Amino acid sequence: MVNIVLLGAPGAGKGTQAMKISQLYNIPHISTGDILRDNLERGTQLGLEAKKFMDRGALVPDSVLIGIVKDRLSEPDTDKGLLLDGFPRTIPQAEALWDIMDQIGKKLDAVIDIEVPDEVLVKRLAGRRMCRCGASYHVIFSPPEVEGKCDHCGGELYQRDDDAENAIKTRLVYYYGQTYPLIDYYGEKGLLRPVNGTGSVDDIFNKISSVIE
């Protein structure tokens, strides 16, 4: 059983790597971004609230996110381990996660920080195409076999609203202001495992798996 947090800037490859890690270790991939987008699609109250923040690249308030994660971590599939992608993203979220894990008798094993330079992040986000099944493609770096269609499920690919140029800039500002301090936070707890996030998807995945082993 392994409990992991994936840390990294927007476009670092968290979602791409998370899909592979969760398959290999058979643990649920818990992406707060995916949970919010799913609510948005279903038109729930939560989705409508979150949309105002997400579309411009801002963070959704801590209280909302902490509630979502608390509920999700109480589901039985997390008994075999878990992989958090996109949470925590602020110090208050990290502190809340610490308490939640404590309450449910779990412990974090590692916080993997995927490090990628800004200019690469921007290129990755600008060319990203998503499928509703969770798969992520890139028009140049990892195109699907058939243009506009998902290799896994055949679904129609789309571009995220927050992958527009201005929203990408805002997301990076929030990342450096709010999320970057988590590197020191987890460093001090002895949990931080930095991984170079440039290179091929498979190379990065191999580095992450050796960190987990």
Shortest Cβ 64–ligand AP5 spacing (Å): 8
Is the Cβ–Cβ distance between 139 and 127 less than 8 Å? yes
The residues, ordered by sequence, that sit 6+ positions from 39 with a Cβ below 8 Å of its Cβ are 46, 47, 50
Binding characters for Mg ion, 6-25, by CB under 5 A (x = yes): --------xx----------
Residue 22: contacted member of ligand AP5, Mg ion, none (CB under 5 to 8 Å, by partner type): none
User: Could you please report the per-residue DSSP string of 168-199?
Assistant: HHHHHHHIIIIITHHHHHHHHTT-EEEEE--S
Tell me the number of residues near Mg ion by CB under 5 A. Answer: 2
Beta strands at 136-138 and 128-130: parallel, antiparallel or unpaired = antiparallel
Is the Cβ–Cβ distance between 122 and 203 less than 8 Å? no
- Whose Cβ is closer to ligand AP5: residue 72's or residue 171's? 171
Q: Does residue 171 have an active-site annotation?
A: yes
Residues within window 162-201 making contact with ligand AP5, judged by CB under 6 A: 162, 171, 200-201
Among 5, 34, 9, CA closest to 198: 9
Tell me the number of residues near ligand AP5 by CB under 6 A. Answer: 36
Among 32, 20, 29, CA closest to 64: 32
Q: Does residue 128 have an active-site annotation?
A: yes
Residue 16: contacted member of ligand AP5, Mg ion, none (CB under 5 to 8 Å, by partner type): ligand AP5
- Whose Cβ is closer to ligand AP5: residue 1's or residue 203's? 203
Spatial distance between the Cα atoms of 1 and 61, rounded to a whole number of angstroms = 31
Contacts with ligand AP5, residue ranges (CB under 6 A): 8, 10-16, 32-33, 36, 53-54, 57-60, 65, 86-87, 89, 93, 124-125, 127-128, 136-138, 141-142, 162, 171, 200-201, 204
- Which sequence positions are flagged as catalytic? 14, 89, 128, 160, 171
